[in-house]
Amino acid sequence: MPLEISNIILTNAVAYYAPYGTPLPPDTLAVNGTWPIAWNRLGFTGAPLNFGYEYTTLEADVQESLAPVNIFKTKETLSLETSLMEFDLGIVTATWEGSANTTAAAAGVPSVQVFNIGGRNALTKRTWAFEGGWVNTAGVELPIRVIIWRAAPSGGSGIEFSKEKFIGFPVKLMALADLSKPMGERFFQIRKVLAPGL
């Protein structure tokens, strides 16, 4: 494969989520374009997207060999972390569960946004996507999209109120297997558009 300097990429990532099973945006959709109506943009983030794919293995050792003769995956995990910078309690429900309600202002009554959480063990499974961009050798900016077919919030963390830092809501997601997909395609997908359509 020829070496391509354009494959050295620097990009941020924009997060989107939709109900589980929502069709993907078309590959013709430009970077920073308007995603289909079912997709919601997560919001401004204050930390890079940390995308970690790991797996454990089991090695087959036999008496006739010093080295293993075979190896298999026994577990795979995909975790994603970032920090949500917008103090919008409605957005937090996508990553922390819970519920948010906003009351409208009225005579003598202020408008209030309230977030409630606690006591519910079920976690909502959604389809998540992260979009970045790159510029090909022809100078055209094209999308790179990571699709996590099925993911849920995973673990919590603290919120720091400080005079030296902006408030950030930690975002932690864990991918789950999508058994509706073919074997070998059940976890996540990376789509890098190489050239616009003719």
Distance, CA of 97 to CA of 154 (rounded, Å): 10
Residue 176 is assigned to a structural domain of this protein: yes
Residue 65 is assigned to a structural domain of this protein: yes
Res. 148 pLDDT band, cuts 50 70 90: very high
Residue 46 is assigned to a structural domain of this protein: yes
Distance, CA of 35 to CA of 16 (rounded, Å): 9
Residue 58 is assigned to a structural domain of this protein: yes
Residue 114 is assigned to a structural domain of this protein: no
**Structural domain harbouring 128:** 5-97+123-192
Q: How many independent structural domains does the chain possess?
A: 1
Burial class of residue 163, CB neighbours in 10 A (0-12, 13-18, 19+): exposed
Mean predicted confidence (pLDDT) in 127-153:
94
Average pLDDT, the chain: 92
Residue 106 is assigned to a structural domain of this protein: no
Residue 71 is assigned to a structural domain of this protein: yes
Query: Which pLDDT score, from 0 to 100, does residue 159 have?
Result: 84
Nearest to 149 by CA among 129, 122, 120: 129
Strands (E), 22-98: 40-41, 50-60, 70-84
pLDDT of 43-99, one tens digit each?
898 889 898 999 999 999 999 999 999 999 999 999 999 998 988 888 888 888 889
Residue 146 is assigned to a structural domain of this protein: yes
